[in-house]
Amino acid sequence: MSAAGRGLTRLSAHEMARGLRAGDFSARELVDAHLDLAHATDHGLHAWLFLDDPRAHARAEDADRRLAEARRQGPAALAALPPLLGIPVGLKDLVVTRGQPSTAGSRILRGFVGPFDAHIAERIDAAGGVVLGKTNMDEFAMGSSTEHSAWGPTGNPWDLGRVPGGSSGGSAAAVAAYHCAVAIGTDTGGSIRQPATMCGVVGMKPTYGRVSRYGIIAFASSLDQVGPFGRDVRDAAALLQTVAGRDDRDSTSSPLAVPDYLDGLPDDDDRAASVLRGLRLGLPREYFVAGMEPGVGARVREAVAALEGAGAEIVDVSLPHTDYGLATYYIIAPAEASANLARYDGIRFGHSLRDGDVLANYLATRGSGFGPEVKRRIMLGTYALSAGYYDAYYVKAQKVRTLIKADFDAAFERVDAIVAPTSPTVAFPFGARLQDPVAMYLSDACTLPVNAAGLPGLSVPCGLSEGLPVGLQVIGRAWDEARILRIGRAYEAITADADWRALEPSSLPALDDPSTEPPRLPGAASPA
């Protein structure tokens, strides 16, 4: 692709919006630049499962018409345009969209074409965002590495031999590799924040209920939450602004008014950093878990020191039930998954084998359609819900969940927000944890409690360890997304001149080489 086209992909979403309004380039040119790059380089990354060029072109031309009309009406009309108008967006492959495939990374949904649009897809379309296609993911969002996709793993743009994190690894990798400006992920136990840190981008899990789950293929309904990826905080805030808000089709969707998340996120670094003065930030000792890599711990403590140097007060806090978060999550989430995934029976939609009686067809369909991690969690969840074990496991886990939430409530009586590591490690090599599910589950040790408590969490890049990205997590009170976005933007401002901020993912040159092999798990054949 041309140098000019590649240059367009390097702009932030808010820079793209400014250029579109100024007429520096068209939405069609912007979308073509991203599609060209994705088609040219995804062979070695596998961030995308589906790219829809015709639909993206049509949406881009609609955006150009809206821009042209606003220019005719004058500056006020241009200023009133949605921030996402004409901006390329990626959707995780569990967002249902009319007329497009949505497989949730699973063979059991091979061939399923959406009959309607998810609420967030409607919102993005109404705002003029241009959806390029669907991104790769762990099957039914069950995983921490995007190695559990039925269609093969996604590579990390910083090192193609390592995972991008999961389960929203395709979205995180697509943003990091400049294939799209922003992307949608879902976070059940860390599945936005953890891949964000491993790919060196910004990712946010909003408060449970802030974004409608209507049209989102479910994993664990009391934990799942939709959220944004961006290359900086302002971009993530713009996407969250677009999709947040009440939806009557989702009874868990909050009726609370959505604030202007972009307000308080100025371009000027000095103004952005000023919010830190007098802010009380809690640092929980329990989040520096056993097994945390020294480089990760060092980068996070350096980030906390930078916040303190800019005027924040750092307060030691304790979240004593953190150690129970992993066990609690892996009772509640599989239990809800076993119920949600019962609908995939080979009769109503998706993959189906029909060579025997009803029971034989059901067993054959699910046996061949689900991958090993999904089967493992269905079995765990069914056991936890079974007669004689429901009270001992599921009910007890829900009680511990309440205690985890109470820990956060107590901490927030003393502090305005909490800062902590996002992941205890940097991105790990393919296959390193596939034979040890517990080690894989520990990847989310720093993110799981936030989901259990239903709170918002933001991951922002805070440097490199051994050449790979590290993330700082900012956790806020329920419905306090605006504050933690301001803290994230302030951290960007005070580290704007850091050398690591000027670096691009180190494996991007390899993606430009047509001979680069697609990502493969050790010993795995090509995905069917």
pLDDT above 90: residue 488: yes
pLDDT band at residue 526, thresholds of 50, 70 and 90?
A: low
88 neighbors 132 (Cβ within 8 angstroms): yes
pLDDT band at residue 290, thresholds of 50, 70 and 90?
A: confident
Rounded CA separation 269/283 (Å) = 24
For residue 91, count other CB atoms closer than 10 A to its CB: 27
Q: Which of 508, 466, 458 has the alpha carbon at shortest distance from 486?
A: 458
Quote the DSSP letter at residue 324: G
Rounded CA separation 504/9 (Å) = 13
4 neighbors 225 (Cβ within 8 angstroms): no
Q: Which of 229, 44, 267 has the alpha carbon at shortest distance from 155?
A: 44
Mean pLDDT of 248-257: 97
Lowest-pLDDT range of 176-185, 190-199, 517-526: 517-526
Rounded CA separation 277/298 (Å) = 23
Q: How far is CA 398 from CA 156, 329, 388, 391, in A?
A: 35, 9, 16, 10
Classified as helix, coil or strand, 443 is helix
Lowest-pLDDT range of 7-21, 286-300, 353-367: 353-367
Q: Which residues contact 39 (CB under 8 A, 6 or more apart)?
A: 51
Q: What's the mean per-residue pLDDT of the chain?
A: 96
331 is written with which tokens?
């009772």
Question: Which H or E run includes 5?
Answer: helix 3-9
pLDDT above 90: residue 353: no
Q: Which of 431, 437, 326, 324 has the alpha carbon at shortest distance from 375?
A: 437
Q: What is the pLDDT of residue 525?
A: 61
Q: What is the pLDDT of residue 354?
A: 83
The pTM of this model reads 0.97
Q: pLDDT tens digits for 202-245?
A: 999 999 999 999 999 999 999 999 999 999 999 999 999 999 99
pLDDT above 90: residue 350: no
pLDDT above 70: residue 338: yes
Q: CA torsion angle for 1, 126, 459, 226 (degrees, to 10)?
A: -120
pLDDT above 60: residue 528: no
Q: CA torsion angle for 217, 223, 226, 232 (degrees, to 10)?
A: -140
The residues carrying an active-site annotation are: 92, 167, 191
478 is written with which tokens?
């329920």
88: β partners: 130
Lowest-pLDDT range of 132-146, 159-173, 412-426, 435-449: 435-449
Rounded CA separation 210/482 (Å) = 12
Strands 313-317 and 468-475, bridge-based pairing:
unpaired
Hey, what amino acid is at 517? E
Q: pLDDT tens digits for 76-118?
A: 999 999 999 999 999 999 999 999 999 999 999 999 999 999 9
What is the set of domains in the chain, with CATH numbers? Answer: 3-323+402-511 (3.90.1300.10), 324-396 (no CATH)
Rounded CA separation 250/73 (Å) = 37
Give 103's Cβ-side CA count (13 Å radius): 25
Hey, what amino acid is at 275? V
Q: How far is CA 51 from CA 39, 101, 132, 156, in A?
A: 8, 10, 6, 19
Q: What is the pLDDT of residue 6?
A: 86
What counts of helices (H) and strands (E) characterise the chain? 19, 11
Hey, what amino acid is at 103? T
User: Edge-to-edge strands of the sheet including 130-135?
Assistant: 48-51, 130-135, 88-92, 182-186, 226-230, 202-205, 457-465, 468-475, 417-421, 280-284, 313-317
pLDDT band at residue 319, thresholds of 50, 70 and 90?
A: very high
Q: What is the pLDDT of residue 291?
A: 84
Rounded CA separation 227/184 (Å) = 6
For the chain, give percent helix, strand, coil, nearest 5. 45, 15, 40
